[in-house]
């Protein structure tokens, strides 16, 4: 199969799972097909799928990521010591682990084609990631608490693992509890990474998007918490601060130069 054939196969398989979409026409336009496929990935509940589907899906997603271009840790230069700053799509970053800013259900974003990092990571990892998270939640029973961290395989992403952490949701002014919970997100991920013998980890800007944590203060907490951990544990772990927006890049650049 070529990419178009794989995409059509996956769309048909996912539509067949949704009786209400049985008569939906598959668009001829490539970009519209990609949007439809992503939407179907996004709304799919965690449930078993055939080996044939997984094989086609994995080939498709890995090829899509390769076409976007993979950035390896070795391609980056540190800003200072073992701290790196990289602006780009975290789903194309090749390192040991990336951090996902998850929600309390830990199942990924169900909103079709939403722009959050949770949506992107679950889309390009494949349906296996939601299944793995569902297994965690089935065993855990209750929602994931803010400030904790869980680890899963990364499946079709170029990294090896995904760390899932739920950041604080800011309502109005930032409180001390908000700051402590955000620091706990970074600390929990680092502690879990150390236990899992992870040598490199990429953090997104946790809580700064849909959860409304002010970008500048969030970056200060991120750098301070990671620095304290590295010193206390005498860790040689490589830490990548991944940003997407120009605003966050400038904030982190300035802070890493002055700290």
| Residue range 241-259, pLDDT digits in tens | 999 999 999 999 999 988 7
pTM above 0.85, yes or no: yes
| 3-state SS record for the chain | CCHHHHHHHHHHHHHHCCHHHCCCCCCCCHHHHHHHHHHHHHHCCCCCCCHHHHHHHHHHHHHHHHHHCCEEHHHCCCCECCEEEEECCHHHEECCEEEEECCCCCCCCCCCCCCCHHHHHHHHHCHHHHHHHHHHHHHHCCCCCCCCCEEEECCCCCCCEEEEECCCCCCCCCCHHHHHHHHHHHHHHHHHHHHCCCCEEEECCCCCCCCCCCHHHHHHHHHHHHHHHHHHHCCCCEEEEEECCHHHHHHHHHHHHHC
Note the pLDDT tens digit of each residue in 126-184.
999 999 999 999 999 999 999 999 999 999 999 999 999 999 989 888 899 999 999 99
């Amino acid at each position: 199969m070529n990419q178009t054939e794989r995409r059509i196969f996956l769309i048909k398989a996912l539509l067949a799972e949704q009786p209400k979409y049985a008569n939906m026409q598959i668009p001829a336009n490539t970009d519209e097909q990609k949007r439809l496929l992503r939407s179907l990935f996004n709304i799919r509940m965690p449930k078993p799928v055939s080996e044939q589907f997984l094989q086609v899906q994995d080939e498709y997603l890995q090829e899509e990521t390769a076409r976007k271009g993979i950035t390896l840790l070795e391609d980056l230069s540190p800003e200072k010591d073992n701290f790196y700053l990289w602006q780009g799509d975290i789903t194309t970053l090749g390192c040991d682990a990336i951090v996902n800013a998850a929600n309390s259900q830990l199942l990924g974003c169900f909103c079709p084609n939403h722009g959050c990092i949770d949506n992107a990571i679950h889309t390009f990892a494949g349906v296996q990631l939601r299944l793995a998270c569902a297994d965690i939640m089935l065993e855990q029973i209750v929602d994931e608490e803010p400030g904790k961290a869980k680890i899963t395989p990364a499946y079709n992403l170029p990294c090896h693992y995904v760390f899932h952490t739920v950041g604080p949701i800011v309502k109005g002014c930032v409180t001390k509890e908000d700051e402590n919970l955000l620091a706990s997100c970074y600390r929990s991920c680092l502690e879990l990474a150390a236990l899992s013998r992870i040598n490199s980890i990429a953090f997104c800007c946790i809580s700064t998007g849909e959860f409304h944590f002010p970008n500048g203060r969030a970056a200060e907490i991120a750098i301070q918490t990671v620095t304290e951990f590295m010193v206390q544990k005498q860790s040689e772990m490589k830490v990548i601060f991944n940003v997407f927006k120009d605003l966050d890049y400038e904030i982190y650049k300035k802070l890493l130069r002055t700290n």
